[in-house]
Structure 1
Amino acid sequence: MQSIELKNKTVFITGSAGFIGSNLVLELLRTQSPIHIVGLDNMNDYYDVSIKEWRLSEIEKCVSEYDESKYQFIKGDLADKALIDQIFNDYKPDIVVNLGAQAGVRYSISNPDAYIQSNMIGFYNILEACRHSYDGGAKGVEHLVYASSSSVYGTNKKVPYSTEDKVDNPVSLYAATKKSNELMAHAYSKLYNIPSTGLRFFTVYGPAGRPDMAYFGFTNKLLKGETIQIFNYGNCKRDFTYVDDIVEGVKRVMQGAPERKNGEDGLPIPPYAVYNIGNSNPENLLDFVQILSEELVRAKVLPEDYDFESHKELVAMQPGDVPVTYADTSALERDFGFKPSTSLRDGLRQFAEWYREFYRV
């Protein structure tokens, strides 16, 4: 593994107003200054844009504290090849972290175009720009880190999910685009010797998260007195991973690029790796709802006498969903000495307190 020092480097982060992206920007500013970060986000309205704007304002506050670091935000789209090429030309990033993507399993059923644009064409643009960063003998990109997803495991029966498992049976277009990102990265790593690492994230949650995620949607509905639907009659298990754990994992992986080396034939062995980042402790959805409800009462988002039972409905599985996600994180522990450790209660407590402040409940 090639060790990379992040200080004094230029890092290009796509999806930088997103949930994981914005938290990564904050973490790098706090721990790796002086650093130059270039952020890209299209600020689309897939969910409430005011949350994205809040995240950007948090970054602005942080930048003013670390005045030796630079942060530039560019509003634009990954699928805009000319823009991506211009960013690489102007800033010559040392490290690229591609977190920009159209997220969500269910939305990929109703709006497939968005997934092909962002997740396929957008990622191709990043790979091409990385490839050409070496033109004319330039040092170019030292490490490309990109978001994959636990959804690539589809309905694999073997748990916990290991990166050694075969993942050829996606059950949603979203999952198919993420698997294709891994395949495209492998081809580019092989052809152009680009050190690349894919990260399969497992159900990320926390403050200022995505409103389309269950914990956030449940909170919105309960507050309005609506009924929440619990899929697969409550027999779903999810490996919930707190956002700070995800960000710590990404930061560590950024600093360890797969090594460039040649095989016996004299040709490059692809400097390519894929890791799971998850809690490796799947929680039953009913237990999850129980803890969430207790924390919402504790944070005074909901009244103490709230009748949760009358607002719960157990329903069948949704198309594209899987019954269980469960990460084998032994490779991440082995190579980076890191294992997510935030308990579900601690993470949901942070979310409930943020929710009360943000929505002034």
Structure 2
Amino acid sequence: MKIVKVKPLEIIRVAEGAHDSLDMNSQSEKDPEKLMKHAINNIKRTGNSSYLAIIPETNEAFTFIPVVEDNRFYVTKFPNPVQLYFSLAFANYQFSVKARNNIVSQKEEGVYLHFVNEYLYNWNLQYRISTIIFLHSTVEAFVNYQMPDEYVYKQVVEGKEKGQFIKVVKEYSKEQTERYIDFKEKVSKVIPEVSQVDFYKDHKPIYDRIMNLNKLRNDIIHLRSAKSGNQSQFNKAFSNVMNANLEDYVEAVKSFINIIEPDFIEFDEVSGDNKRTLTIKLPHYKSCGLSIDMFIKMLETPAEKVIYNLPKSEDKDFYSFKTWFLQSLNSMAKSQLIYLPDIKDMGEEIHVEVVKTEKGMRVSQPV
């Protein structure tokens, strides 16, 4: 499994002695509890909870926004928002693939219309929507990130007035550009100015994919319907979501960013090998029966990951057993005892990988 590397937003190296100077010029109150209460009151008053911290040993400074609970701060270096958004998009994309695999694994030979569990269908749709929205947020945040603070965008507006050709140039500061210039214009006009990369001219397939992503996102966010019962726009929007090739959009966004800033988006391979794993090779499905004992034993074992190897059969009853088996696991996922199973057709057997949640692991722990 892959995850996106999310790095700190910014780490600044400060001059030697900066920590001592800051300490000398800070408020006189030294009691930690009183300092914390003052900081929390300040957050409530201003709405701003961003802080700068200095590590004296390394002379590094970083920003953090704390989790505040019970008059305490819980902190770490604040993550890069662009990488954070992309990591959310990529995680939801992987979940959407897993949900779809769970749906289509219920196929039966000779049957072409299958009714599946509503929650499984809804998960698939939710993951797909989240992928699209966070991919779009990734691009927009990255474009805004590329503009220097002093950036001025000059928008040229041409037209006719009283039969006369006119040309008007409007100037926008960085903040105004972020707020008032639309997504398409930022990608097609602002990016070439700030990065010297013109995607429309030099990377048209990526440009087209990003524009399609923008339309998909807008159709979701600005969903339209009609009280008359004509739901054509509604149906079209969600048909496009359901049929979109998300892998292409993920790759387009990654390429868009990495062309401008090489290696900005990177991945780590996460192996589940460090999890305690139990492999169960199920006998012929008829000898298993429709018994929940196998799932109870799975929860009771201390293993975090359980792999089922289910031998396939041409018997007509095998489909019923497989459907019951997979739907039982999906019900456990709905109850948050396990994560959504990873299902792979290995030819002569079906490989089902199950990872327990923290709630599921508690079942195996003695009271």
What TM-score do the two structures reach when normalised by structure 2?
Answer: 0.27
Q: Which has the higher contact order (CA 8 A, sep 6+)?
A: 1
Larger helix percent? 2
What TM-score do the two structures reach when normalised by structure 1?
Answer: 0.28
Whose radius of gyration is greater, 1 or 2? 2
